[in-house]
Amino acid sequence: MYLRGKIRNQKRLVNIKTVSATYNIQKEPNHYTMNIETILTQSIVEAMKALYGQEVAPEKIQLQKTRKEFEGDFTFVVFPFLQISHKRPEDTAQEIGAHLAANQPLATSFNVVKGFLNITIAPSYWIDLLNTIDSDANWGIAPVHEGSPLVMVEYSSPNTNKPLHLGHIRNNLLGYALSNIIAANGNRVVKTNIVNDRGIHICKSMLAWQKWGNGETPASSGKKGDHLIGDYYVAFDKHYKAETAELMAKGMSKEEAEAASPLMAEAREMLVKWEAGDNEVRKLWETMNGWVYEGFDETYRRLGVSFDKIYYESDTYLVGKETVLEGLEKGIFYRRPDASVWADLSGDGLDEKLLLRSDGTSVYMTQDIGTAQLRFRDYPIDKMVYVVGNEQNYHFQVLSLLLDKLGFSWGKGLVHFSYGMVELPEGKMKSREGTVVDADDLMDEMINTARETSEELGGKLDGLTPEEAADINRIIGLGALKYFMLKVDARKNMLFNPKESIDFNGNTGPFIQYTYARTRSIERKANEAGVNMESAATPAKISEKECSIIRMLNDFPAAVRQAGIDYSPSGIANYTYELAKEYNQFYHDFSILREEDEAAKAFRVQLTRNVGKVIKTAMNLLGIEVPERM
């Protein structure tokens, strides 16, 4: 298990060769995309020259999808070119449309609405396009080469004094999905985690266990290790508050009581011993952290996220201190009379930043610099992406400048993937008071809700073994949780509602999973019926709805590309929902396996198969499983 590596003193690196390229998701169409826009654009350029004797740059031709209330596939707005045609908008659009119909075989018909030219594409084109999509098992996913840019993504960042909670779930899901999307855009990706395994908060749990634990272990208590340690963190806070209340009752102010707290003084003393390498304290630290790592591993497995490399704050804070002192020697930083070390960022529009306290101890910024130093030694990073909540926006502005000043080539261009907080109807969570929503408990709740929903619907999982049914309920429950978290723009705060997320209708994970299961059911029945799906099916006519679905399938590579450019898992989530919704409308309006025309039947099965393929690929990018049956 990844996180146990710290206790066993094992290190794991991904073997990646040095590259010189920079991270850049290309905006140009992927090489496998049949780009009808390019064909139409060139044809319109040729029409302009033939009709009006004017050369028009292709980039000035703007095509858009025809609105649903009008007939057509693509719309060309002619208003910007009236100065070339010297004619009314309707006449200009009519002439260009007629030229396309006469000279471009793909444009079978057109209609004009004022200055808007709506162009209908030949059915044969959509059939050829579907065959192209069908032949590519990895449709939408750009290949990764040895020289592809290397992007490192950091997410999770747990503390070893408590279990993972609802906030960590959003962080992990966003980080894992973002890593998949960046990789799907042709980049090599290293997924990393920084574990906050030192500090006063860790000592609080350790001290509480020493005082009130009576030798309790995960084995003796039957609790996961991270839950057990979290209980002692809460216990410390409970006793600390009682202690300060007692001192305040004797006439002290709150600040005086907190400063005089014997319990807090013991925790600080333990931290000093830890930093001094005290054998007894370090042994207890390793033991209790080991319990936590085992618990974290189990949670990560259930959540379906993973890491290529784990870093530990206990390793990085000293490296950060060394790096800061080197920067001090080079004149990048300066020392104040009290011996503290600072960075002056006023010239960059920011303020001064403390890097080392007067007693020589490090701060969080120092630790992040140390982590960056270790990562730069381990990997030839082209781009660094930090998945951290928006309350740390200023921190990463400062970190970016400091890394750049220290000579990290990727420092100034680092990406802080800033996301909003997740809350429940009851409000914010507080770890010290034990009011957090535990990640394990939430996953259990989601799986149980999926099971109850399946039972209410009745008959959906008949014929399956209890183990198979349980696994499907797991896939549905966790899929509902993940999709609900990922469909929201990451920059926004969100309110999580478990009941709403499990709905089988609307923009939910189960609705998309059910659509996938439907496509697989149709495929199985088609195979049983002997429908020939291997040869290219060419029906005499295809409907607008079928064309619409093929257009959406063709849009998938662009959706992946845009999600990478925008760092937006929600872009993939909402694309997938729109595709599922469009396919379900088609399913209800058209016969598939009961279609009498064999060519039309085979074509619709082929269309169904590719809808399922793209849904599965898209959901995999989000880290969401899809069941073969629901």
Render pLDDT for 218-264 as a digit per residue (tens, 0 to 9).
999 999 999 999 999 999 999 999 999 999 999 999 999 999 999 99
387 bridge partner residues: 417
Name the average pLDDT for the chain: 89
Q: At 251, which amino acid appears?
A: G
Query: Shortest CA distance to 489 belongs to which of 577, 386, 391, 567?
Result: 567
The one-letter amino acid code at 240 reads: Y
In angstroms, the CA 284 to CA 606 distance is: 61
- Domain ranges for the chain: 36-127, 149-196+308-437, 198-307, 439-621
Sheet (strand 334-335) strand order:
334-335, 341-344, 352-356
Give tens-digit pLDDT for 553-592. 999 999 999 999 999 999 999 999 999 999 999 999 999 9
For the record, the structure tokens of 343 come out as 């960075």
C-alpha distances out from residue 366 to 9, 65, 298, Å: 23, 51, 31
Residue 497 has pLDDT above 80, yes or no: no
Give which of 280, 293, 262, 366 is closest to 323, Cα–Cα: 366
User: pLDDT value at position 570?
Assistant: 97
Close Cβ partners of 263 (under 8 Å, ≥ 6 residues apart): 207, 236, 239, 240, 243
The CB density around residue 581, as the number of other CB atoms within 10 Å, is: 16
The two tokens of residue 438 are 């535990």
Q: Which of 206, 412, 171, 194 is nearest to 319 (CA)?
A: 194
Distance CA 179, CA 187 (A): 10
Q: Which CATH superfamily is domain 36-127 in?
A: Arginyl tRNA synthetase N-terminal domain (3.30.1360.70)
Please tell me the pTM assigned to this model.
Answer: 0.87
Domain 439-621 has CATH 1.10.730.10: yes
If one counts every other C-beta atom within 10 angstroms of the C-beta of residue 265, the result is: 11
Q: What is the mean pLDDT of residues 41-51?
A: 96
Q: Which CATH number fits domain 149-196+308-437: 3.40.640.10, 3.40.50.300, 3.40.50.620, 3.90.1300.10?
A: 3.40.50.620
Q: What is the pLDDT of residues 381-438, one digit of tens each?
A: 999 999 999 999 999 999 999 999 999 888 888 999 999 988 776 654 444 444 568 8
The stretches of 36-193 forming alpha helices (DSSP H) are 36-52, 82-85, 89-103, 123-135, 166-184
Alpha helices in 435-568 (DSSP H): 439-457, 466-486, 498-501, 509-529, 544-554, 556-566
Distance CA 238, CA 380 (A): 46
CA distance 146 to 156: 28
Q: What is the pLDDT of residue 159?
A: 94
pLDDT at 459: 63
